[in-house]
Structure 1
Amino acid sequence: MRKYFALIATGGLIAVALTGCAAPAEPQATSGATVDAVHVSGEFGETPDVEFPTPLTAQDTQCREVIEGEGDYLSPGQFLELGLYWANGTTGEVIATAGFDDEQTQVLTPSASTTPAPLVEGLSCARDGSRVVVTTTAEEFYGPDRGNDAQGIAPGDTLVFVMDVIKAYPDRADGAVRLSRDGFPAVVLDGDGRPGVTVPSSGPFEDLEVETLKQGSGATVEDGDLVVVNFTGVLWDDNTVFDTTWKDEGTSPTVWSVGEGGNIPTGLSDALIGKTVGSQVVVVVPPDQGYGSSGSGEIPADATLVYVVDILGIYGDE
């Protein structure tokens, strides 16, 4: 099984999901003298050998692809598995390395709000299988007149990142379209893949019900898997959205653990097991397989739930 890690924000570790709705026509940052001064060698997926003159001085964010990936530039909504090298370009000190050499690393739910803008810009230069070098300023990474004392980074310092895009998940289900049955919640997709859900006016189903709107051809979800998804959940009673990864600024995919001890309702978990990556499914979860008589957050007691789920991938799958 491949190991995973989470990207670095303001001193902690986080996973990264770039936010947005469509792939940029061009990278958001370009090459320049600062990033060109960083020399990188070594095999993809292995800890890189990195050399640069110190002090290295950056004025803005620059990026350069040193190992070419495949396909299009990364779409802003994709969830990524990365290897990361991070150094202080002013002092030459290595701050962290993670995700290389099948190293055991931390896995967290991706959060677009905690992804620093220079990494978003730098990763826009990358493709699946790319190794990219990104240089930026501490101020662009942390904010004006800010650094990170715990990491030994002063406000005026330059930061150097080398990132291997080990795996790039799609930002939406890409399976073959299938027709849904009459009387089932209807789903209409926006241009960016965002689902709109209309619940029938009739009473809710009493049992767990599942419809496949797109049939994927990828790996099969099994008990115990960590599944990367985009989803929208609505209440059957009034069609209110109670949770979604489709935010105003784009998507922020999440990771669900399915099976015994998972982090989602049992009905939803049971519905996903046996489905394939690339599928989009609609799941109607009755109260006794959802949050029951207690409810949860914006979900009231005894609520029937409707989920539209894009199955984007499975952690640990090669």
Structure 2
Amino acid sequence: MRKRPLIVLSTVAAATLLLAGCSGSGAPQSSGTPEPTAASQCALDAQPGATSDAVVVEGDGADTKVTIPADAAFAGVERTVISEGDGEEIGVNDLVSVEYQIVDATNNQVLDSSARGDGDVLPVLLDTNQSSLFVAALECKPLGSRIALALPGNVLGEGQNNVVVYAEAVEKLPEVATGTPVDPTPGMPTVKLDDKGAPSVTIPDGDAPSETKVAVLKQGDGATVSSGDLVVVQYLGVKWSDGKEFDSSWSRDAVPAQFQTTGVVAGFQKALEGQKVGSQVLVVMPPADGYGASEGHELQNESLVFVVDILATTPVQAQQ
């Protein structure tokens, strides 16, 4: 139910050029949800080179220092494994917590880092459309691997400086809501989960509510979603009028979706903001908070029902 394409981080967004042609997860969009194709396990599989090998990484955690030699050539996209982890291999569409720094090669200034996150890590969905920089750095390597990714400025966009990404995928994160079940709210649709956590919805008799209503089905205890955050979710959307599914991440091989809370229709935004990671919420929205009277839209004048598992939330870095 996204209203428009979104930019995540300026550097990350530019780095989508690295993975042109690779598809990522779908997301609820007002212009229709494109059908993704299966992404290969390794979208880029960048190899080591003279520049990535020359990057010096000292310390660990919040004390990690990344130093780039002044004469580094940046001849191409290069990736060096500083130390290999012993966890399972990760790939495209995995949801992981990441420790990282993005460093400007011209002055060794840290442009962005996971130090702004809880415990010096931030959640990242390895989506080739929106987080391709992290896909290029982390894909096809074991959890715990420490990586140096060298990116020439010309692959990031006109006038961009060369950068190095230091990254470590610390752990895989749950891809279903893990919160404590909450008693159903009277008058709301009934939700049942299968053995994989995928929901199905039964619409009650009667008219849809005239205003958006949100009920918590599972209460999480993670970070609180704020306005403008980049969220990662699983979701199912059905029409109140006939109970038929019109969109679902579960129908796309249960690949989570990510988008900003301010980039979706009003009812979906109301369902997300103020909730905690790990929660599962049920939202019923009238057309006014959905697609309204959008002429010719498949959901024109429809009241909509969504079940949403909130998997992660990250404040979006200010554009630089």
Q: Secondary structure of 2:200's partner?
A: strand
1:251 paired residue number:
255
1:141 paired residue number:
none
Q: Secondary structure of 2:267's partner?
A: helix
What is the Cα deviation at residue 132 of structure 1?
1.5
Change (3 A) 1:267 1:118: closer
Change (3 A) 1:189 1:300: farther
The equivalences for 1:146-157 within 5 A come to none
Q: Unaligned stretches of 5+ in structure 1?
A: 21-27, 88-92, 104-108, 139-146, 153-158
TM-score under structure 2 normalisation?
0.58
Q: Secondary structure of 2:288's partner?
A: helix
Q: Secondary structure of 2:208's partner?
A: coil
1:99 paired residue number:
112
2:94 paired residue number:
77
Matched, 1:264 2:264: yes
Distance (Å, rounded) in 2 between the aligned partners of 1:268 and 1:36? 42
1:41 pairs, out of 53, 57, 77, with: 57
Matched, 1:281 2:285: no
What is the Cα deviation at residue 279 of structure 1?
0.3
Q: Which has the higher helix share?
A: 2
Contact 1:64–1:133 (CA under 8 A) maintained in structure 2: yes
Letter in 1 for 2:270: D
2:216 pairs, out of 212, 218, 221, with: 212
2:312 paired residue number:
313
What is the Cα deviation at residue 263 of structure 1?
3.4
The equivalences for 1:120-139 within 5 A come to 120=135, 122-124=137-139, 125=141, 127=143, 131-134=146-149
Matched, 1:175 2:179: yes
Letter in 1 for 2:57: S
Change (3 A) 1:115 1:282: closer
1:292 paired residue number:
292
Distance (Å, rounded) in 2 between the aligned partners of 1:86 and 1:190? 46
Letter in 2 for 1:313: A
Change (3 A) 1:199 1:256: farther
The equivalences for 1:232-251 within 5 A come to 232-246=236-250, 248=252, 250-251=254-255
What is the Cα deviation at residue 291 of structure 1?
2.8
When the two structures are aligned, how many residues end up with a matched partner?
Answer: 274
1:112 paired residue number:
127
Q: Secondary structure of 1:99's partner?
A: strand
What are the Cα deviations for residues 161-184 of structure 1, in whole angstroms up to 9, with x where unaligned?
533359976533221233535762
TM-score under structure 1 normalisation?
0.58
Q: Unaligned stretches of 5+ in structure 2?
A: 1-7, 26-35, 37-43, 117-123
Letter in 2 for 1:269: Q
What is the Cα deviation at residue 118 of structure 1?
9.4
What are the Cα deviations for residues 13-35 of structure 1, in whole angstroms up to 9, with x where unaligned?
99x99869xxxxxxx97998989
What is the Cα deviation at residue 228 of structure 1?
0.7
* Percent of pairs with identical residues: 23
